[in-house]
Structure 1
Amino acid sequence: MLRSVQTKALNVLGEPLQDCSHTPLTGFFRDGCCNTSEDDLGSHTVCVSVSQAFLEFSRFRGNDLVTPIPEYNFPGLKPGDRWCLCAARWLEAHQNQRAPQVYLASTHQRATDIIPLTLLKEYALDLN
């Protein structure tokens, strides 16, 4: 049971957090956003565009995001899908040259507790 309540979320740019994906439905709360709370120990805060290189890296690290798991209503991911990724996993992928690109408007500000904003900006798909 989740103990904490979501608060009005801001993205890494200090603006209201935008949706990441409803198809597939993502987020710690499965609300389409990279919202987080004290219960989200993995900090599912980084909205990414999943790449093949990242999917292979994640599977190698023991987290198969490709295979559907119907009992959890998880369709499996394919390159190009948007997904709320754990901040530490994104950083690990970056350190191994496998980090996917990021949507800053949909990335929760708490991601910067783990990943420097300057680094996220290097991977931004939505930075003008």
Structure 2
Amino acid sequence: METATSTQKNVYGRPLQPCCMDPVTGFFRDGFCHTMDNDLGRHTVCALMTEEFLNFSLSKGNDLITPNQEWGFPGLKPGDRWCLCAERWKEALEAGVAPPVFLEACHQQSLDIIPLEVLQQHAMH
């Protein structure tokens, strides 16, 4: 099986690594936190879903828990990886519920909104 690769860069300036293929995440639903100009939400932060974050997102009007067949969205549960909007992750950080991140799979444009040092403090090892 061929491994997916990316020409876009992660927060370290290296090739972006996949975030999650099951469920398939990303603005383009290609498993990567790829972005482009029409991705207004900047889905660039690869994070590990936690119950606290999922409930926080729901309280902000973004239900990531409930499946949506029309959009082919399976619904997320704690332990899933997902490409989050950088602003939402930052908002969760300020609320004390930011989920852990996978730096190699976070797009470099995340750094326009969140300093690398902050992401590193929440990185999965």
**What RMSD over aligned residues (CA atoms) do the two structures have, in Å?**
0.9
Listed as ranges, the gaps of 5+ residues in structure 1 are 1-6
| 2:57 aligned partner | 58
| 2:71 aligned partner | 72
Runs of 4+ in 1 over 3 A off after TM superposition: none
| 1:113 aligned partner | 112
Amino acid paired to 2:39:
D
Amino acid paired to 1:24:
P
| 2:13 aligned partner | 14
Figure out how many residues of one structure are paired with residues of the other and give that number. 120
| 1:4 aligned partner | none
SS of the counterpart of 2:30?
A: coil
Distance 1:23 1:72 in 2: 15
| 1:96 aligned partner | 95
Residue by residue over 1:39-71, the C-alpha shift from the partner in whole angstroms, topping out at 9 and shown as x without a partner, is 100000000000000000000000110000011
Query: TM-score normalized by structure 1?
Result: 0.92
Asked if residue 25 in structure 1 is aligned to residue 24 in structure 2, the reply is: yes
Asked if residue 49 in structure 1 is aligned to residue 58 in structure 2, the reply is: no
SS of the counterpart of 2:97?
A: coil
| 1:34 aligned partner | 33
Query: Post-superposition shift, 1:92?
Result: 0.1
Query: Post-superposition shift, 1:14?
Result: 1.2
Query: Post-superposition shift, 1:8?
Result: 2.1
Listed as ranges, the gaps of 5+ residues in structure 2 are 1-5
Distance 1:82 1:116 in 2: 21
Query: TM-score normalized by structure 2?
Result: 0.94
Amino acid paired to 2:74:
P
Residue by residue over 1:61-95, the C-alpha shift from the partner in whole angstroms, topping out at 9 and shown as x without a partner, is 00110000011000000001000000000000000
Distance 1:75 1:86 in 2: 18
Amino acid paired to 2:43:
H
